[in-house]
Amino acid sequence: MELLAQQLITGIATGGIYACMALAVVMIYQAIHHLNFAQGEMAMFSTFIAWQMLAWGVPYWLVIPLTVAISFVGGVAIERLVIRPLGDAPVLSHIVVFIGLFAILNSLAGFIWDFTIKPFPSPFGEGSQLGGLISNHQIGMIAVTMTVLVMLFAFFQYTRVGLGMRAAAENPESARLVGIRVGWMIALGWGMAAAIGSIAGILIAPIVFLEPNMMLSILLYGFAGAVLGGLTSPTGAVFGGFMVGIIENLAGTYIPVIGGELKLPIALVLIVTVLVFKPTGLFGRTVVQRV
């Protein structure tokens, strides 16, 4: 029983990270209708920036907002400099650009900070609660991801900029006709996705350790979450992210064949299964429209 509770908690904690990555992916997907394969590497790079600041002795409470801000600017810059000039280029051009971004960020991080695995301190310290059932870091992960997700929900639901971003993603032409600056809304989406990714990176780094390839599997789980929930639904992506975290941990523990080694294929199996049987995902809407 305690094992089950522990695995559930671990699942929810890592699921929060997958939810953040899934949400970042979905935000960009809704704006430009392409999957950003470099989302994970962007997050990894942000985490290295945080690590560097920590190494320079900047206090943790300052490192997090600074990293988020730098990542936001970086995300906007990538959109302006790399994605925007692509315009309506075919899907393969986008994929190649994303792979290019992936490779550039990955090697750049390796070049600057080298490829050795680095420990990354938890912002919430060591130790655990409830007789070792849940670590302080897990509590922190769950609290932070929940806060981020609730804030994002409020932003999109109750602010004018959030409404403008939704309108721009849904119908760019109509959005222009009501005076929304669609290009900047897309750039804003990239900035926010990068910022969310940086938080996910900082939260997961103490668990998987910091190195240039650390986000590879995390992003895969994020994709699985996004596909499971539905690429057209931010809420679905978040739900999917948590589900993937829980499924991954329970399957790893209770299905002997899978164990620790075969966890990653679960993500792939999920992606394939969902795409075959319910391509819109659990929450994805088939757009309701009268003609």
Partner 1 sequence: MSMLLEVTGLHASYGDFRVLHGLDFSVEKGGISTLLGANGAGKTTTLRALCGMIKRSGSIRFDGKDIGGKATEDIVRLGVAHVPEGRGTFTGLTTEENLQCGAMTRSSSAEIARDLEQAYHWFPRLRERRNQQAGTLSGGEQQMLAIARALMLRPRLMLLDEPSFGLAPLIVQEMFSILRKVNQEQDVAMLIVEQNAGVVLELADNAFVLETGDIVMSGTAAEIRDNETIRAAYLGY
Interface positions with partner 1 (CB under 8 A): 160, 163-164, 166-167, 170-171, 173-182, 285, 287-290
- DSSP bridge partners of 134: 129
Minimum CB distance to partner 1 smaller for 252 or for 281: 281
* Shortest Å distance, C-beta 284 to partner 1: 12
Residue 40 or 164 having the CB closest to partner 1: 164
Residue type, 53: M
How far is CA 72 from each of CA 23, 48, 76, 85, 191, rounded to the nearest angstrom? 15, 15, 6, 19, 4
Q: CB of residue 94 vs partner 1: minimum separation in angstroms?
A: 23
**What's the min distance (Å) between Cβ of 166 and partner 1?**
6
Distance CA 118, CA 176 (A): 47
CB of residue 290 vs partner 1: minimum separation in angstroms? 7
Residue number with CB closer to partner 1 (26 or 220): 26
Beta bridge partners of 135: 128
Query: Residue 102 is encoded by which pair of tokens?
Result: 């992936």
Angle 229-231-41 from CA coordinates, rounded to 5°: 100
Smallest distance, partner 1 to C-beta of residue 234, A:
12
Distances (CA, A) of 264 to 26, 166, 216, 218: 21, 33, 10, 9
Radius of gyration of the chain (CA): 19
Angle at 186 between CA 181 and CA 189, to 5 degrees: 125
Nearer to partner 1, 101 or 165 (CB): 165
Residue 19 three-state SS = helix
Q: Are strands 128-129 and 134-135 parallel, antiparallel or unpaired?
A: antiparallel
Output the smallest distance, CB 39 to partner 1, in A: 23
DSSP 285: P
Shortest gap between Cβ of 237 and partner 1 (angstroms)?
Answer: 15
Q: How many residues does the chain have?
A: 291
